[in-house]
Structure 1
Amino acid sequence: MRPFYILLLFLTTIIQIGAQENFVKINGSTNVSSFQCTNSKFKNEAYSFSEKNLPNIILKVTDFDCGNKMMTKDFQKILNAEKYPEMTIKFLNFTRNQKKFLAVVEVKMMNQSRKYNVEFNLENNKMVGRKNVKFSDFNITPPKKMGGMVVVKDDLDLTFSLSTKI
């Protein structure tokens, strides 16, 4: 019977850890394919979204993973990870509007800051928000590869998924 309890404890721990996984995804595309770079290596805790205690998330650029070593290296090079090792996502304001949550979020990378209005939904105890942004918002020229045959598009989809205490 004891092995059963140990297994049950182990599975419960795994489920709780998986349920609290926080991540930021950046989805983009080229004229050939699409890509997704994810960072889930920051505080794995439940965030508070009260007016007095809004999240300020610091992401290491080198923690983004695009699922392909070469693409990950290129992505980190585009964001100049050596000179600007961190990206910050700071919640400036957060309000509830019926079933939706509205936030003003400041994204800072490469010494450039931009504020965005982001709509969040509560999904399985996580605040999930999506926002279309552009490389050019941060004065980044989308790269070209293979002598210009592969062109990265300026448009990006930013997705936040943060465990919450709401």
Structure 2
Amino acid sequence: MRHLLHLLILSLISLTAFGQKADYIPTEYILEVVPDSSMHIDGKTNINTFDCIFKNSIKSNLTLTQNIFNELTEVQHSGLEFCVTCFDCGIALMNKEFTELLYAEQYPIIVMKLLSMYIYQGEDKTIKGKGKVSMIIAGVERIEDITYSVPHSEGKNFQIIGTKQINILDYGITPPKKMMGMVKVDQHIDVNFNFKFIVDDH
């Protein structure tokens, strides 16, 4: 009986250790951005709004462990580079003003890099997530908190959808004024993202 009890305890310890080890086995992903639905920036002035959509496809490398389903966990991400002039605001004049707003001539690239992730089930039974990202806009880097939903998964593949409101003053951007100050750009813009995570089998 004592021998059987010892075997049971050893089995439980082994299972626990294996489970913990499995949580930390790295998985390689391709983080994919698809045109029209995966990245757009919304803003407003005192008289209208603008919605600028990223029109290119880009991919980056991401390494994470299954521990992101247990707690906020660091991830290794090569980062996404969004060319400012590749955003389409619908009309040429708005495109020009958008690139001027973000100082594209001097700082042509926006960089977004995931630093940590935590995916969990919310009280309403939906799958949600939170984490931290590094954002570089107009040459200024800041660490931002993000929240998102996880509406779809297939095996180990999944996607995250969310919106992060940022204050452009934090990035050293002065909201411009047009028409002798009558048109003013709001200092807050919304960065909307929809990213796909696909297991890299190669």
TM-score, structure 2 normalization: 0.66
Aligned pair 1:102/2:117, yes or no? Answer: no
| CA RMSD, 1 decimal | 2.2
8 Å CA contact 1:46, 1:162 repeated in 2: no
Instruction: Tell me, yes or no, if the aligned pair for 1:128 and 1:162 is still in contact at 8 Å.
Output: yes
AA partner of residue 34 (structure 2): E
1:52/1:140 Cα in 2 relative to 1: closer, same or farther (>3 Å)? closer
1:123, 1:49 → 2: CA distance? 21
- In structure 1, the residue matched to 2:151 is 123
Aligned to 1:56: 79
Unaligned runs of at least 5 residues, structure 1: 1-19
Answering whether residue 195 of structure 2 is matched by residue 162 of structure 1, we say: yes
Q: What is the percentage of aligned positions where both structures have the same residue?
A: 29
Letter in 2 for 1:121: S
Hey, what does 2:106 align to over in structure 1?
83
Q: Say if 1:64 and 1:29 are closer, same or farther in 2 by CA, change over 3 A.
A: same
How far does residue 46 in structure 1 lie from its aligned partner after superposition?
8.6
CA contact (8 A) 1:42 1:58 kept: no
Q: Deviations over 1:76-98 (max 9, x none)?
A: 01211121111100101112232
Q: Which has the higher contact order (CA 8 A, sep 6+)?
A: 1
Deviation (angstroms), 1:40: 3.4
Partner amino acid for 2:49? S
Kept in 1, the 8 Å contact 2:165–2:188? The answer is yes
Contact 2:81-2:112 within 8 A present in 1 as well: yes
What per-residue deviation string (whole Å, max 9, x for no partner) do you get for residues 19-51 of structure 1? x725221111111011111113141x5975625
Q: Are the structure 2 counterparts of residues 164 and 97 from structure 1 closer, same or farther at C-alpha, using a change threshold of 3 Å?
A: same
Match of 1:114 in 2: 142
1:37 equivalent in structure 2: 52
Change in Cα spacing, 1:36 to 1:47, as seen in structure 2 (3 Å) is farther
Residue equivalent to 2:185: 152
Amino acid of the structure 1 residue aligned with 2:161: V
Alpha-carbon spacing, 1:46–1:77, altered in 2? closer, same or farther (3 Å): closer
Q: 1 CA distance for matches of 2:50 and 2:61?
A: 28
Structure 2 CA distance, aligned partners of 1:55 and 1:93?
13
Q: Distance in 2 between matches of 1:79 and 1:95?
A: 30
